[in-house]
Structures are given as C-alpha cells and as structure tokens.
C-alpha cells in the first residue's frame, strides 16, 4: 500500500517539506473501500466420454460401454437450463439466444436445438408440474384469470391459477368452465377469486371474491361513454363508496386497523352500495341497470375479503402472473404445436413458482434435467 505524505516543516526552515517515508507512516483508523464487479473469462467447456470397444473372448463379438445417461444429447444440463432461462425468464427470442451463446460462450446452436432443449426441459419438469396441478383442488384460496393465446394461428386461451406459494398455467382450446372442472374438481371447496366472467359464475356457487378493480373499470367506462345526469350521479356515488372501501383496506393492509375493525367499518359502505343498487335497478339507462344488478347480486362476493384471511379485494395477483406470458406472446406470437403449448405452460409454471418461493430458477431447472437423464425423480415444487 502506498501512502502519500505531506508533512509541513516549521516556517522559515530551508526544507519546507519532509521527504516521503512510507515506513514512518501512521494510519488514522479510517479505511476507504471501493469495489468493482467484474466477470472472469467466460468459456464453455466440452466433456468427452470415450467408450472403447471390447471383444468378448468367448463369442468374439465387439461391444462398447454405454454413454453416461447425464451426457446424453449435445448440451449439458447447465447449458440446457440456461437456454430455457433466457427464453422463459428473460423472454429473449430464440435468434437472440443463438447469437448470445455464440458471441459470449462460443457455443454454436441452431433454432431446432433450442426447441429440443425446451422439449427436454418440459419433460423433465412434467412430474413437479403435475403435482402442483393436483394440489390446486385442496387450496383454501385460488385466484384465476385467462387471456387469449395463439397456436399456429388458431385461437387458444391461456389460464392461470394462483395459490399462495405457487402458480399453474395451462393453455386450453376453450374458455368455458370445463377447464375449471378439470383442474379444481367438480366442486371447489375453497374460495375462488376472479372477475365476473360467466364461466366462473356458472362453475362456482360457493364462497367467492369478485374483483373490485374490474367493477371500477366498468363504472368508469359507463361514466366516460354516457353523458347523462342520472348516469353521472350513479357512477360518482359508486366510485365514492369504492374509494372509502379501499382507504379502509389500505389501513388494514398497513396494520393501522385490525380485521375486526375492517369488518365493522365496511358494513355501512356495504349497506350504501346495496341501497344504491336498489334505487337504480329500474333505471332508464341499460348500463346503469346492469351495474345496479351487479351491486345487488354480487354484494356477498364483493365483500368476502373483509373477514377471510388470504383473500384480497382485487384479482390483480392473477393478472400480474399473466403478464410474463403476455410479454412472451408479443415476442413469439404463441406456439406452433401442442407440444409447444405444453412446454410453455410447464416451463412458465416452474419459473414463476420458483420466483414466488424465492428459489434460483436456473439452479432448479438444471437439477430436474439431470434427474430426467438419469431416470430419477426430480425435486418437488410443492410448498414445504
């Protein structure tokens, strides 16, 4: 370590500065730290398996040892997991992944090889994904939502089912309640949180939470499109009660009030909204009549969150989980085959579940691929 010294001599001295003497320096107890993060040289390495031929002394036939199972294919588990991570978590187009691997790692890979990596990873995580699907039926609270998808230009629907510690995606040909029956059973015993889409209403007659954000959007849409004193009054009254309810919810969420206070103080809001619906049930405006009917019919579903742990007033959690696949859809324009649909739903299920559980996605992906090649059972993603 070098010390820069500047010790001033007495005024009038012939030598105004003493010479630098590092061996005589003293520290003052303070230390300045500066760190720079840098990458080491990145270089992919090739693992070669040599299998010599051996001649049987009895029959004279030549045989060769089998290639180790984990060395099957052209790419190792770590590189295969990285390709999946770049395309799923980072949402990078396949062509961009090809260029990145070639320019950074010196690995030449074709478009077909990236697809093979996807398909192998999909098969590797099939077991953990099936476990998560089967666990959905027993969950106390599920948030569900769906959006459009495309497979080879044909219309599909992407569904998401969000539990407390994991998420399940599936791509289906229908938006009907048949999907809910297949995944949640004929009768779901828990609380289903969703928007007011008819598929959910037809399927689930039990406890449910309807999304306040969707209702607010409906009210704002009517207010924007229709300039009528009755419509404006109804919408402004409904939005005012919505604002009061969410101020209350934010106080509860921030710990300023407890659940009993949330429940008690929401009762007047619930009564005023019910009365608002009654007053406008026979409105001359069709949109107002429809919204008034929603307030009357869906009040129990709108206010379930006030006394149920783990239930929120909106379905924003499920909508946020749809966002990664919506971004991927803009890049890839959907899938080309049924195998592609299955791989998309499985790999995004794994990626988003790892994120919810705080797991390293790349590390998890490489482990099931290794297990798959060794014909072993992969690690479960069920919450512990």
DSSP string, 147-190: EEEEETTEEEEEEEEE-SS-EEEEEES--STHHHHHHH-SS--S
Question: What's the pTM?
Answer: 0.85
Q: Closest Cα partner for 148 from 342, 288, 294, 330?
A: 330
Region 286-294 average pLDDT? 93
Q: What is the pLDDT of residue 60?
A: 80
In tens, the pLDDT along 166-206 reads 999 999 999 999 999 999 999 999 999 999 999 999 999 89
Confidence at 20, pLDDT banded by 50, 70, 90? low
Confidence at 10, pLDDT banded by 50, 70, 90? very low
Q: Do residues 82 and 102 lie in contact, with contact meaning Cβ atoms separated by under 8 Å?
A: no
Structure-model confidence comparison of residues 41 and 84, the more confident one? 84
Angle CA 55–58–64, to nearest 5:
25
CA 80 to chain centre: 21
Q: What is the pLDDT of residue 28?
A: 79
β-strand 191-194 against 208-210: which pairing, if any? Answer: parallel
Q: Is the pLDDT of residue 17 over 70?
A: no
In tens, the pLDDT along 58-74 reads 888 888 777 776 677 78
Which long-range contacts (C-beta less than 8 Å, at least 24 apart) are formed by 21-30?
A: none
Q: Closest Cα partner for 212 from 251, 238, 176?
A: 238
Burial of 82 per CB tally in 10 Å (0-12, 13-18, 19+): buried
Q: What is the pLDDT of residue 270?
A: 96
CA distances from 197 to 157, 201, 203 (A): 14, 7, 10
| Nearest-angstrom CA–CA distance, 91 and 73 | 24
In tens, the pLDDT along 83-111 reads 999 999 998 988 999 999 999 888 888 88
Sequence-distant (≥ 6) Cβ neighbours of residue 297 within 8 angstroms: none
Sequence-distant (≥ 6) Cβ neighbours of residue 120 within 8 angstroms: 73, 80, 369, 372
In tens, the pLDDT along 230-270 reads 899 999 999 999 999 999 999 999 999 999 999 999 999 99
CA distances from 279 to 185, 206, 270, 275, 294 (A): 39, 28, 14, 6, 13
Q: Work out the mean pLDDT of the chain and round it to a whole number.
A: 89
In tens, the pLDDT along 128-171 reads 999 999 999 999 999 999 999 999 989 999 999 999 999 999 99
Confidence at 378, pLDDT banded by 50, 70, 90? very high
């Amino acid at each position: 370590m070098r010390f820069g010294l500047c010790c001033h001599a007495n005024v009038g001295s012939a030598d105004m500065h003493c010479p630098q003497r590092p061996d005589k320096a003293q520290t003052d107890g303070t230390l300045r730290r500066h760190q720079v993060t840098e990458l080491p040289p990145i270089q992919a390495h090739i693992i070669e398996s040599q299998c010599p031929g051996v001649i049987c002394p009895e029959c004279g036939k030549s045989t060769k040892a089998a290639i180790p199972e984990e060395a099957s294919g052209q790419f190792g588990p770590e590189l295969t997991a990285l390709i999946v991570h770049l395309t799923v978590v980072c949402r990078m187009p396949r062509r961009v992944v090809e260029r990145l691997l070639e320019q950074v790692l010196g690995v030449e890979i074709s478009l077909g090889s990236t697809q093979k990596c996807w398909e192998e990873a999909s098969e590797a995580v099939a077991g953990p994904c099936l476990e998560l699907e089967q666990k959905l039926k027993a969950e106390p609270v599920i948030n569900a939502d769906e959006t459009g998808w495309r497979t080879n230009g044909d219309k599909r629907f992407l569904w998401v089912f969000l539990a407390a510690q994991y998420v399940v995606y599936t791509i289906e040909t229908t938006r009907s309640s048949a999907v809910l029956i297949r995944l949640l059973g004929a009768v779901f015993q828990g609380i289903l949180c969703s928007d007011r889409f008819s598929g959910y209403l037809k399927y689930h007659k039990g406890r449910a939470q309807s999304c306040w954000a969707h209702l607010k959007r409906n009210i704002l849409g009517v207010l924007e499109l229709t300039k009528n004193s009755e419509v404006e009054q109804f919408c402004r009254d409904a939005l005012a009660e919505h604002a009061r309810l969410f101020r209350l919810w934010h106080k509860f969420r921030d710990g300023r009030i407890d659940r009993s206070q949330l429940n008690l103080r929401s009762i007047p809001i619930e009564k005023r909204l019910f009365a608002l619906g009654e007053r406008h049930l026979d409105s001359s405006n069709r949109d107002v009549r429809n919204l008034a009917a929603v307030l009357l019919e869906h009040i129990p579903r709108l206010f379930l969150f006030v006394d149920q742990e783990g239930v929120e007033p909106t379905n924003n959690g499920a909508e946020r989980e749809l966002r990664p696949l919506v971004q991927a859809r803009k890049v890839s324009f959907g899938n080309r085959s049924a195998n592609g649909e299955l791989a998309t739903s499985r790999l995004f299920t794994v990626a988003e579940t790892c994120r919810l559980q705080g797991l390293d996605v790349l590390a998890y992906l490489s482990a099931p691929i290794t297990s798959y090649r060794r014909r072993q059972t992969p690690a479960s993603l069920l919450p512990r």
